């Protein structure tokens, strides 16, 4: 009788050699399907040649370890869901060796299976339970609670959840209940193996491809809000117009999206009822890329007709504040490299129907070339009447006033405060006899040609005056002069140091005879300073040196909320589209007012304009809105100690 029995129970189904053939066939097929889908979604669209961006390797590696392997960003913004997600991710890391041993049996044979589980098997068993807990919690959230940010239900999400659960259950059965090479153990082994191969097929066809791509997207993401790229010099680069214009990081990004909806949930425009959804922008780009689309963006009519994938109406609502990138757990760059580049493509081709955008360009194209359309005589009277020194090349610092400090009444008060600070500190400085706009509103709204014209003129002026150091009170101007302009070879060759006034004031604190006066304030972090330049500590250090007790708003630091002026919205925002009871600036002002601080400190000339408008709407003229420079100047020994405001 025993001679008639198979050598091992598995032969009841297939001979040992045949099972090896089946295993290898399934393995090869699943790997081939995995690669074919990955190539279709990713590699086939990579521009050639593609160049890796430069950057500090150590910081990138640490950020990747922190955000991917420690899941820090996932947990930070949604702690409950983040922890469950982390359990699943960490469980898969723990299963790496288990899976390797499991699959090796398909080649070596079942007689190599271990009879008695070791320590690592027990360790993996604990993680299997943790993964099951995480999957159950996430599935309940996805299919029962169904948060709005997650969007429509996805069939593949359910399939992946079932396959992962099957992997964990079959492992637990193998670990605690089944002994190799019994028939039940072999059936269980094949169930585990088929689930593993099925995941290889399903994952690259779904949002779960982020499991593979997110470490690369996070590694190559910039430290601050993404910048607009320089156009190629071949004259054929008009910005992002066609899907073939996508850079390799764009292709990586649109395929990495996990569809969690955090970017849209945290978008200030979407919060007040705007149609802009950063998540949908990325997904529309993904769908257009994979379906062989040509034009990326266009008018609402063109999108309805199906000739484009993204509506310009959504693109021109963006504040370029970077909130979407700050919360994205997989390193997607929504702002500079996508939304603003798409604006640039539309403008370059003359396919913009937004009347306010066209009006902004018309205003800036005409003398005196600033978005306010105010003549240079206003600036001339201001600097001459207030006796601002004129930069002649001998001074150490050029004080760049910018459009706001030149023409806005409150901005001029900030300029006077900086004059007092620089003089008191004994700094050698001056202002240009004539300034034109640096082109920030033009470039952020998409007019690259106008920006290049303004930049060329300003670069020539700076070179002529021998400027080596620039200080600006405007984070937008600072970003342009310190980041965007360095994409221009003639400007980069000048080697100019550019700092925001919060940076130089912090350096000058030891030289300033301050009289600290105890007062409670809240500080509003400008987006372009906190997320755009990573500066959050310097302003607070300045305020504390002035005796200020800071009461933080719920959203502060890099987690700040926009005042509503960025991305050229100060000039192009369409009030008619905001149908909700509040606007971006009103929501931000309400958050700051909740601190009950009598004064709001700011560090950007755009922010007071927006916040004062919101204060007027809320009938809160009891709250003062003051720039850092005004606060410091009022504390300088010998001043009258009064905080003067205007406008």
pLDDT of 562 above 90 = yes
Identify the bridge partners of residue 298 per DSSP, sorted by sequence position. 311
Q: Hey, what are 502's tokens?
A: 């919060």
Q: What is the pLDDT of residues 416-471, one digit of tens each?
A: 999 999 999 999 999 999 999 999 999 999 999 999 999 999 999 999 999 999 99
Average pLDDT over every residue of 227-248: 91
* pLDDT score recorded for residue 556: 97
Distance CA 540, CA 546 (A): 10
Identify the bridge partners of residue 624 per DSSP, sorted by sequence position. 599
Same domain (yes/no): 395, 370: yes
Distance CA 168, CA 132 (A): 7
Q: In this structure, what DSSP letter does residue 335 have?
A: I
Same domain (yes/no): 137, 166: yes
Q: In what order do the strands lie in the sheet with 469-472?
A: 429-430, 397-400, 469-472, 497-500
Same domain (yes/no): 201, 234: no
Going from the C-alpha of 502 to that of each of 233, 372, 377, 505, 601, the distances in angstroms are 36, 25, 29, 5, 12
Instruction: Judge whether 331 lies within some domain.
Output: yes
Portion of the chain with pLDDT greater than 70, in percent: 94
Of 318, 353, 388, the last residue of a domain is 353
3-state SS, residue 431: strand
The vertex-522 CA angle with 519 and 527, nearest 5°, equals 145
Same domain (yes/no): 191, 247: no
Q: What is the pLDDT of residues 568-595, one digit of tens each?
A: 999 998 765 445 568 999 999 999 999 9
Average pLDDT over every residue of 36-46: 92
Look at the block and give the residue holding tokens 């050598």.
7
CATH of the domain at 211: 1.20.950
Going from the C-alpha of 226 to that of each of 19, 222, 417, 483, 497, the distances in angstroms are 52, 6, 32, 11, 21
Task: Tell the burial category of 588 from Cβ atoms under 10 Å away from its Cβ (0-12, 13-18, 19+).
Answer: buried
Mean pLDDT, the chain, whole residue set: 92
Same domain (yes/no): 43, 135: yes
* pLDDT score recorded for residue 4: 42
pLDDT interval class at 645 (50, 70, 90): very low
Nearest to 422 by CA among 505, 306, 487: 505
Q: Hey, what are 588's tokens?
A: 């931000």
* pLDDT score recorded for residue 280: 97
Same domain (yes/no): 488, 382: yes
Same domain (yes/no): 174, 55: yes
Nearest to 397 by CA among 479, 456, 465: 465
Same domain (yes/no): 283, 415: no
Same domain (yes/no): 437, 519: no
Q: Do the beta carbons of residue 315 and residue 336 sit within 8 Å?
A: no
Nearest to 389 by CA among 359, 410, 419, 361: 419
Distance CA 264, CA 330 (A): 14
Average pLDDT over every residue of 504-525: 96
Distance CA 261, CA 490 (A): 41
pLDDT of 3 above 50 = no
Going from the C-alpha of 405 to that of each of 244, 372, 414, 536, 550, the distances in angstroms are 42, 12, 7, 22, 26
Q: Which domain holds residue 489?
A: 366-507
Q: In this structure, what DSSP letter does residue 131 have?
A: H
Going from the C-alpha of 633 to that of each of 418, 419, 516, the distances in angstroms are 7, 9, 11
Instruction: Judge whether 120 lies within some domain.
Output: yes
Q: What is the pTM of this model?
A: 0.92
pLDDT of 5 above 70 = no
Same domain (yes/no): 78, 160: yes
What residues contact 176, with CB distance under 8 A and at least 6 apart? 125
Same domain (yes/no): 22, 93: yes
Distance CA 449, CA 403 (A): 20
* pLDDT score recorded for residue 482: 97
Q: Phi/psi of residue 600, each to 5°?
A: -105, 120
Identify the bridge partners of residue 431 per DSSP, sorted by sequence position. 390
Burial pattern 275-294, b for ≥16 Cβ within 10 A else e, equals ebbbbbbbbbbbebbeeebe
pLDDT of 49 above 70 = no
Q: What is the pLDDT of residues 91-115, one digit of tens each?
A: 999 999 989 999 999 998 888 887 7
Q: In this structure, is the dihedral angle defined by the CA atoms of residues 509, 512, 518 and 519, taken in order, positive or negative?
A: negative
Of 492, 507, 522, the last residue of a domain is 507
* pLDDT score recorded for residue 646: 40
pLDDT of 360 above 60 = yes
Q: Hey, what are 247's tokens?
A: 């850079």
Q: H-type helices in 42-95, by residue range?
A: 57-64, 72-77, 79-94
Instruction: Judge whether 640 lies within some domain.
Output: no
* pLDDT score recorded for residue 446: 97
Of 507, 522, 537, the last residue of a domain is 507
Task: Indicate the helix (H) or strand (E) that contains 499.
Answer: strand 497-500
Q: What is the pLDDT of residues 241-280, one digit of tens each?
A: 999 999 999 999 999 999 999 999 999 999 999 999 999 9
Q: Phi/psi of residue 399, each to 5°?
A: -90, 105
Same domain (yes/no): 376, 490: yes
pLDDT interval class at 166 (50, 70, 90): very high
Instruction: Judge whether 174 lies within some domain.
Output: yes
* pLDDT score recorded for residue 179: 85
Q: How far separated are the first and last CA of the chain, in Å rounded?
A: 103
Instruction: Judge whether 644 lies within some domain.
Output: no
Q: Pick the residue with more confidence: 646 or 377?
A: 377
Residue 239, CB half-sphere, CA atoms under 13 Å: how many? 26
CATH of the domain at 478: 3.40.50
Identify the bridge partners of residue 319 per DSSP, sorted by sequence position. none
Distance CA 352, CA 57 (A): 40
Total Cβ atoms within 10 A of residue 103: 16
* pLDDT score recorded for residue 176: 85
Total Cβ atoms within 10 A of residue 297: 26
Number of domains comprising the chain: 4
Instruction: Judge whether 641 lies within some domain.
Output: no
Instruction: Judge whether 625 lies within some domain.
Output: yes
pLDDT of 407 above 60 = yes
pLDDT of 642 above 60 = no
Length of the chain: 647
Nearest to 501 by CA among 518, 515, 481: 481
Distance CA 540, CA 112 (A): 64
Nearest to 323 by CA among 75, 569, 526, 475: 526
pLDDT interval class at 154 (50, 70, 90): confident
Instruction: Judge whether 138 lies within some domain.
Output: yes
Q: Do the beta carbons of residue 440 and residue 532 sit within 8 Å?
A: no
Q: Hey, what are 190's tokens?
A: 């094949």
pLDDT of 195 above 80 = yes
Q: Do the beta carbons of residue 603 and residue 501 sit within 8 Å?
A: yes
């Amino acid at each position: 009788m025993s001679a008639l029995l198979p050598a091992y129970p598995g032969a009841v189904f297939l001979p040992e050699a045949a099972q090896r053939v089946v295993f290898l066939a399934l393995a090869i097929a699943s790997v081939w399907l995995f690669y074919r889908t990955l190539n279709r979604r990713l590699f086939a669209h990579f521009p050639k040649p593609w160049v890796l961006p430069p950057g500090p390797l150590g910081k990138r590696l640490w950020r990747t370890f922190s955000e991917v392997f420690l899941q820090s960003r996932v947990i930070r913004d949604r702690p409950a869901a983040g922890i469950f997600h982390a359990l699943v991710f960490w469980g898969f890391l723990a299963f790496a060796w288990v899976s390797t041993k499991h699959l090796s049996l398909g080649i070596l044979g079942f007689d190599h299976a271990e009879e008695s589980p070791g320590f690592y098997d027990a360790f993996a068993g604990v993680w299997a339970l943790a993964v099951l807990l995480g999957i159950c919690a996430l599935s309940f959230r996805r299919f029962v609670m169904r948060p709005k940010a997650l969007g429509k239900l996805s069939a593949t999400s359910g399939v992946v959840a079932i396959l992962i659960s099957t992997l964990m259950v079959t492992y637990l059965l193998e670990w605690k209940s089944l002994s190799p090479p019994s028939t039940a153990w072999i059936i269980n082994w094949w169930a585990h193996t088929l689930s593993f191969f099925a995941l290889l097929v399903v994952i690259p066809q779904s949002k779960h491809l982020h499991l593979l791509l997110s470490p690369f997207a996070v590694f190559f993401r910039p430290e601050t809000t993404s910048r607009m790229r320089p156009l190629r010099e071949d004259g054929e680069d008009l910005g992002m117009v066609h899907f073939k214009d996508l850079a390799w990081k764009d292709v990586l990004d649109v395929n990495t999206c996990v569809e969690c909806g955090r970017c849209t949930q945290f978008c200030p425009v979407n919060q007040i009822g705007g149609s802009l959804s950063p998540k949908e922008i990325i997904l529309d780009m993904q769908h257009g890329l994979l379906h062989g689309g040509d034009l990326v963006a266009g008018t609402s009519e063109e999108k309805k007709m199906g000739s484009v994938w993204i509506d310009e109406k959504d693109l021109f609502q963006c504040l370029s504040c970077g909130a979407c990138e700050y919360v994205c757990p997989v390193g997607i760059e929504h702002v500079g490299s996508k939304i603003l580049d798409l604006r640039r493509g539309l403008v370059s081709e003359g396919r913009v129907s937004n009347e306010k955008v066209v009006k902004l360009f018309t205003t800036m194209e005409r003398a005196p070339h600033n978005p306010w359309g105010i003549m240079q005589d206003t600036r001339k009277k201001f600097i001459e009447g207030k006796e601002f020194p004129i930069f002649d090349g001998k001074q150490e610092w050029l004080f760049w006033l910018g459009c706001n400090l030149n023409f806005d009444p409150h901005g001029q008060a900030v300029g006077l405060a900086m004059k007092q600070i620089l003089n008191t500190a004994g700094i050698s400085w001056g202002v240009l006899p004539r300034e034109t706009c640096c082109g920030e509103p033009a470039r952020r709204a998409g007019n690259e040609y106008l920006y290049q014209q303004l930049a060329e003129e300003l670069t020539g002026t700076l070179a002529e005056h021998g400027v080596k150091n620039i200080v600006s009170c405007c984070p937008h101007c600072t970003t342009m002069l310190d980041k965007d302009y360095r994409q221009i070879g003639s400007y980069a060759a000048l080697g100019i140091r550019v700092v925001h006034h919060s940076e130089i004031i912090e350096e000058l604190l030891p030289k300033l005879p301050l009289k600290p006066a105890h007062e409670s304030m809240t500080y509003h972090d400008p987006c372009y300073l906190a997320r755009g330049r990573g500066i959050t500590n310097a302003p607070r250090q300045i305020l504390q040196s002035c005796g200020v007790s800071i009461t933080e708003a719920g959203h502060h630091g890099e987690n700040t909320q926009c005042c509503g002026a960025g991305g050229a919205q100060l000039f192009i925002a369409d009030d008619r589209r905001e149908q909700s009871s509040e606007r971006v600036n009103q929501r931000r002002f309400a958050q700051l007012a909740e601190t009950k601080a009598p004064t709001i400190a700011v560090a950007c000339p755009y922010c007071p304009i927006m916040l004062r408008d919101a204060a007027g709407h809320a009938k809160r003229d009891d709250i003062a809105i003051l720039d850092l420079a005004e606060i410091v100047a009022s504390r300088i020994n010998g001043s009258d100690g009064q905080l003067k405001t205007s406008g």
